[in-house]
Amino acid sequence: MSINTSPPVFVLNRDLPEDKRLDNYDMCLAVSKVVGREGVLGAQRIGSLWRIYMRTVQARATLLAKGLIVGGRSVTVFAQNPFVVRGPDGREIPGTKIIVSDVPISLTNVVIEDALKKKGVKMRSSLKMKGIRDKEGKLTEWLSGRRFAFIDVPEILMERMLNVGQFKAKIFYKEMAEANLCFACHKSGHRAVDCPMRKKNDESYNEEVRNVGQDEDSEAVVEIANKKSIDETKSNDKTAEEKGEDRAREEKRFIVKRKKEKRNKKTCKVKENTDKENSASGEDTNNSIPGGDEEEDEEALSKKKEEGHENAKQNCEKKSKTKENTDKEAGDERGRGKQKEKRYKRFFREGEISKL
């Protein structure tokens, strides 16, 4: 059954007295004191906005002209939804909810709002702090540091990262997801996982590793990896997905390095076995020598055999030492990176980020 009614009028719930908790009946009763009981069709609250429906256009005009008195306070009555922004031509300007994260709780909202306005964002409301929810999804009295506000939908998609003073805040609104905004190259149409720029970088790196060849020393592979690592550190805005791919590339470089070292170790063992066989063949030759100089030849061959073992041992120790130094350097580099990351997190928690 359809109901013939005039367009509703609107009242903001925050404009009502805080000590007066109104339900639907109380609101209809307050409106009926202005236009009469026969002029009121109904009232409903949706979110923070009251919608009041009148039976006739005349009753609606009367309420807009006289206003509403609740608890001795004059309350503004809106002819249109105050949360809907309209342009000069009367058309609705679409709005959206923006979420700002990765900024300290102590940072004032004014600084963040100024940074958003510099990017051309038109604010419909001031920023508000989001609370932390418990395991059951209920809000607690604690703050999470994330802010939200209502804005006009930007004509041009905004970048994921926003400079707010000395911090890099992350921003998000639903139109970003709908446009498939890439957080790696900040272009729309694809996600960071499928970013062609990152795939191109990975393919060029793999080609360099293949060109080194299997017979070359592992230092060349390490040099390429270090060069690649230096290039990657130039990017300051890395997401969790990018860091994961960086770790995958690091593991790949480590595997290539290990394979080279295993081949070197295998070559060292083969050489040692060859030296032993040569020493053994020399001993057999010595046994076949007749005459009174048998003891002297035996002593010379034994000495030669010991020298061969000693040389092979020194070669293996030298290669093993080189491998240990390489591992130590790689471990020190990783250790310094982890220390720096821990120090950064500690300063960030303590609010001493300016010390870095």
Percent of all residues in the chain with a pLDDT value above 90, rounded to a whole number:
23
* Domains and their CATH numbers in the chain: 9-82 (3.30.70.330), 92-179 (3.30.70.330), 200-355 (no CATH)
C-alpha 342: how far from chain center: 17
Percent of all residues in the chain with a pLDDT value above 70, rounded to a whole number:
63
Query: 10 Å Cβ neighbour count for 175?
Result: 15
> Encoding tokens for residue 350?
């303590």
User: Using CA atoms, how far apart are residues 309 and 275, in angstroms rounded to an integer?
Assistant: 7
Q: Please write the tens of the pLDDT for every residue from 118-134.
A: 999 998 888 989 889 89
Q: Please write the tens of the pLDDT for every residue from 274-332.
A: 766 666 665 554 444 444 455 556 677 777 767 777 777 777 777 667 766 666 666 66
Q: Exposed (0-12), middle (13-18) or buried (19+): which is 68, by Cβ within 10 Å?
A: buried
User: Using CA atoms, how far apart are residues 186 and 198, in angstroms rounded to an integer?
Assistant: 12
**Percent helix / strand / coil, the chain, rounded to 5:** 50, 20, 30
User: Using CA atoms, how far apart are residues 55 and 352, in angstroms rounded to an integer?
Assistant: 62
User: Using CA atoms, how far apart are residues 271 and 42, in angstroms rounded to an integer?
Assistant: 97
Q: Is the pLDDT of residue 335 over 80?
A: no
Q: Please write the tens of the pLDDT for every residue from 152-172.
A: 888 888 888 999 999 999 999
CB 122 within 8 A of CB 152: yes
Coil vs helix vs strand at 292: coil
How confident is the model at residue 30, as a pLDDT? 92
Sign of the Cα torsion 164, 165, 167, 168 reads positive
pLDDT-derived band at 36 (thresholds 50, 70, 90) equals: very high
How confident is the model at residue 118, as a pLDDT? 93
**Backbone dihedral region for residue 213 (phi beyond 0: left; psi -120 to 50: alpha; all else: beta):** left
Of 83 and 219, more confident: 83
C-alpha 93: how far from chain center: 31
C-alpha 291: how far from chain center: 84
Q: Is the pLDDT of residue 211 over 70?
A: no
pLDDT-derived band at 353 (thresholds 50, 70, 90) equals: very low
